[in-house]
Structure 1
Amino acid sequence: MMARSIAEHTLSRACDYLSAMGVELTREVTLRALTLVEAGLASKEEDPLQFVMTRIHDHFALQNPPLPTTAPPITRGSMSFKP
């Protein structure tokens, strides 16, 4: 297996994250992610992956997916013990 470049790894992680958040990976979305990766590579202050992942919410309209309930709702009942 060939080693991937930093750019490929960063773009792959960004696209995987966007897909997991429910964003359809269209050509336009991928180009916007690539632009963000390019900015991350140009940044000398931090790791490109960290740069992209901390700014991805600013560039895409991401909504937190609804979480399922952990338990069914509690309903009160009567045991009705009668002799």
Structure 2
Amino acid sequence: MPEILCRQALERVLTYLDDDGVVLTADACRRALRLVETSLAQGAGPDLPARCINRIPDYFERPHEPIPSANPPLKRGHIGYD
């Protein structure tokens, strides 16, 4: 069972990183493996994939994309409630 959790954790980490725009180079994959290995050393419980995802900021600097401004600008209003 631990091998299935390990595989699941690594797949989730790599998928998360890929979806977040991190380029999956050989170095990035090695860091992902170290992340899973470190988390696995703390126990192979069913929460392993979640623990790995929570530790991603410790191992990876994720791209920052600013949120664009609303266009046209938002204006506050009300619909007449008192």
Cα–Cα, structure 1 residues 60 and 44, in superposed 2: closer, same or farther, change >3 Å? same
Partner of 1:63 in structure 2? 63
- RCO greater where, 1 or 2, for CA within 8 Å and sep 6 or more? 2
Cα–Cα, structure 1 residues 45 and 6, in superposed 2: closer, same or farther, change >3 Å? closer
8 A contact 2:9–2:36 mirrored in 1: yes
Question: What are structure 1's unaligned runs of at least 5 residues?
Answer: 75-83
Please, what TM-score do these two structures have when normalized by structure 2?
0.70
Larger-Rg structure: 1
Equivalent position amino acid for 2:8 in 1? H
Residues 8-47 of structure 1 aligned to structure 2 (within 5 Å): 8-44=7-43, 47=47
Identical positions, percent: 36
Please, what TM-score do these two structures have when normalized by structure 1?
0.70
Describe the SS at the equivalent of 2:32: helix
Question: What are structure 2's unaligned runs of at least 5 residues?
Answer: 74-82
Cα-to-partner distance string for 1:3-53 (whole Å, 9 max, x where unaligned): x71111110100000011110101110010011001111113862112211
Equivalent position amino acid for 2:61 in 1? A
> Aligned-pair RMSD on alpha carbons?
2.2
